[in-house]
Amino acid sequence: MTDLKKFRLGVLGSGKGSNFVAISDAIAAGKIPAEVGIVLSDVEGAGILEHARARKLPVQFIPPGKFRTKLDEESERAFVAALSAARVDLIVLAGFMRVLKGDFLRAFEGCIVNVHPSLLPSFPGLEAWKQALDHGVKFTGCTVHFVDAGVDSGAIIGQQTVPVLDDDTADSLHQRIHAAEHELYPKCVAAIARRDIFVAGRKVGWKK
Provide the binding-site residues for ligand GAR, judged by CB under 6 A: 13, 15-19, 48, 94-95, 115-117, 152, 178, 181
Shortest approach of ligand GAR to residue 7 CB, angstroms? 21
Closer CB to ligand GAR, 26 or 94, in the complex? 94
CB of 83 to ligand GAR, least distance (A): 18
User: To the nearest whole angstrom, how small is the minimum distance from the Cβ of residue 101 to ligand GAR?
Assistant: 15
Which CB, 15 or 58, lies closer to ligand GAR?
A: 15
51 a catalytic residue? no
Q: With beta carbons less than 8 A apart as the criterion, state whether 157 and 191 touch.
A: yes
The distance between the two most distant Cα atoms of the chain, rounded to a whole number of Å, is 60
The residue of the chain with the least Cβ separation from ligand GAR equals 95
* CB nearer to ligand GAR: pick between 2 and 61: 61
In angstroms, the Cα distances linking 53 to 39, 47, 75, 113, 202 are: 9, 10, 22, 22, 36
CB of 112 to ligand GAR, least distance (A): 12
Q: Which among 116, 145, 174, 182 is annotated as catalytic?
A: 116
Coil, helix or strand at residue 136: coil
Q: How far apart are CA 192 and CA 188, in angstroms?
A: 6
Q: What sign for the dihedral angle of Cα 11, 106, 119, 7?
A: negative
**Residue pair 132/172 in contact by the 8 Å Cβ criterion:** no
Of 116 and 176, the one with the shorter C-beta distance to ligand GAR is 116
Rg (CA), the chain: 17
Catalytic site residues? 116
